[in-house]
Chain A
Amino acid sequence: MTLSARVVLLTFVGGALGTALRWSLSFAFDSSFWAIALVNLLGAFAIGFFNGHRYFHTDARRALYSIGFCGGFTTLSGLMAVAVSPASGLMVGLEFALGIGLYLLGRRTGDSTSAETASEADLV
């Protein structure tokens, strides 16, 4: 991907929206551990879907949805901050494993949705 002005601007917009949404959601939770788990696991599925679905395969849409929105919505620094004990460290390890699983699931979902869209379009 080339760093065009359009790509930079869309990454900025997606990142700002994702960050604002993550921060707003954090107030709905008593525990930052579960708030971060929710955004990270949702973001993992979402980026899987975007990487799978061909609609999102242009530079501009990747910048807005995958790099900007999912990147800004999910957080690794926040995740590191909740790994304060060996037990929570283990939970963080599980979150990585679950996140990879959800990514793969999202990617399959995006792929099949994409194929369906293609066949529908062919019928028209």
Chain B
Amino acid sequence: MSDFALVLAVALAGGLASVLRLTLSKWHGWLPWGILLANSAASLGLGLALHLAQAGQPIVVAGICGGLSTFSSVVAASGEYLRGRLWLKAALYTALSFAIPFTALTLGAFVGPLLLN
């Protein structure tokens, strides 16, 4: 794949993943659960993808996982909670946005090699 085609493929993957994130973000209760799900799914996917063949990796890793997950939306929600003096929500949402995706990535990295064998 030429460099330009690869950039285009990564961009398209990121665009599609962003639309999926937008759809998931509609699940918004006491906390933005849909964004937490998007971040967790992307991290699980990244953990699994660490063992994929080299060629497709930028499309999956940078495109799909990078585009599906978001840091800006997490700090935006937490920042708004702080502005509204909702300390518990700010602390809990930030902590969960680290703990659950990190666990998902670790799980993916562990299960990935088992699936290939």
Contact = CB atoms under 8 A, between A and B. Distances in A.
Nearest to A36: B71
B26 A23 contact: no
Given A76-B101, A77-B42, A67 B22 contact: yes
Chain A residues touching B, majority SS: helix
Interface of B: 7, 10-19, 21-23, 25-26, 39, 42-43, 45-47, 50, 58, 61-63, 65-76, 78-80, 82-83, 90, 94, 97-98, 101-102, 104-105
Interface residues of A, number: 50
Given A17-B11, A23-B58, A44-B75, A77 B69 contact: yes
Interface of A: 3, 7-8, 11-20, 22-24, 26, 40, 43-44, 46-48, 51, 63, 66-68, 70-81, 83, 92-93, 96, 99-100, 102-104, 107
B18 A72 contact: yes
Contacts of A44: 71-72, 75-76
